[in-house]
Amino acid sequence: MITKKELESQMSHLIKEYGEWTYDIPLPYGLWTAKNQGLPHTRLKRIIQIINDVLSKPISSCRILDLGCLDGIFSIECALQGAHVIGIDAREANIKKALFAKDALNLNNLEFIQDDVRNISVSKYGRFEVIICSGILYHLNTPDVFILVEQMYEMVKHFTIIDTSISIEAAESVSYKGKKYYGHTWREHKESDTEETKLKRLWRAFGNDISFRFTRPSLINCLSHLGFSSVYECFNPPHLNFGKPGIENEHRCTFLAIKKQECEFHTSPMTNHFKEYWPEGSLSYTNKKKEFTPATQWPEPYVANGF
C-alpha cells in the first residue's frame, strides 16, 4: 500500500508536469488535490442529486458516461457511489490527473480514457443509463454540437444531463437537417495561438477555435428534434457560485433530457404525434440585455483572460 509520503511525492511530480488541479478532490491520508479549499461544489451537488432522484434503479447497477471530465470529480463521485463509470477527456493533462486520483482511491469501477467527445459512439463505448455532459456542449462548433447530441441520444438508455452555457440573445442562426437554431458564436482561441497554448487552456475548446452557444429555446428544441421525449431545467439544488456569494453567471443552465417512448393518448387523439416547439424570445429568465459581437470580432481580453 502506498504511503502518505509517496502519495505526496507523486502528486507533486504530477503538478509539476501537468499543472495545478481543476477540482479539489479528497485523497487518502487527508490529502486534497487542491489543498482543501473548503468550497462546496454546488454544480456537483446538482448533477449527482438529479442522478439519484431520477434513476429508476440503484446507481450501483448503472453505467455512467462523463463527457469532458477534466480531472474527474463527477466520475469519481459517481464511482464512489457505486456506479460503473467511464470519464472521457481530450487533454492528456486532465486524464493523467484523473487516473492518479482513481488509483489513489482504488476505484476499480472507474475508467478514464483520453479521447475527443466527437469520437463517441455506441460501437466504441456501448450504452449507458446516464450521460453527464457538463461544461462541454458550448465548447463545440456546428455541426459537431448537433452530432454530439445525436450520439448521446443513441448511447443513453435513460437520461442525459446537460450543464451548459447558453446565449441570452438570438444573435445568429444556424441550420441542421432542415431545422433552424439560434444563438451566438464565441471565439475560444485566437488564430495566431499555438497548439501548445490551446492545450494549456483546460477550460477552453479542444480542436476548434470557434464554438456555438444555443439560446435556451433552441437547445430545448434541438433535444426534442433529435428524439428526447421530455426536457426539464433544474433550479434546485441551486448552482450559484461554487459556494461563494452571488451568482456565477446568468447564462449557465442544467437540463435533464429523458429518452422514453412518447405516450399514446386516448382522450385526446389529436395530441398523438402533435409537435410544438418553443419560439425564440420565450424562456428568458433575465431582465438584462446583452449585445453579442460576432466571433471574429471578440475583443482581445476575452481570449487572453479565458472568459
Average pLDDT for residues 263-288, to the nearest whole number?
Answer: 87
Q: Is the CB of residue 66 less than 8 Å from the CB of residue 161?
A: no
CB–CB of 138/36 below 8 Å?
no
- For 21, how many CA atoms within 13 A lie in the half-sphere containing its CB? 23
Query: CB 45: neighbour CB atoms within 10 A?
Result: 15
Residue 242 banded pLDDT, cuts 50, 70, 90? low
Domain spans in the chain, listed from the N-terminal domain onward: 40-304
Is a pLDDT exceeding 60 seen at residue 249? yes
Average pLDDT over the chain reads 90
Could you tell me which CATH class the domain 40-304 is placed in? Answer: alpha beta
Q: What is the DSSP string of 34-65?
A: T-------HHHHHHHHHHHHH-SS-GGG-EEE
What are the tens digits of pLDDT across the range 95-123? 999 999 999 999 999 999 999 999 999 99
The CA distance from 167 to 72, in Å, is 27
- pLDDT greater than 50 at residue 211: yes
20-39 residue pLDDT tens: 999 999 999 999 999 998 88
| The predicted structure's pLDDT at residue 108 | 97
Note the pLDDT of residue 307.
Answer: 35
pLDDT for position 248: 72
**pLDDT exceeds 60 at position 297:** no
Neighbour-count burial of 209, counting CB atoms closer than 10 A to its CB (0-12 exposed, 13-18 middle, 19+ buried): middle
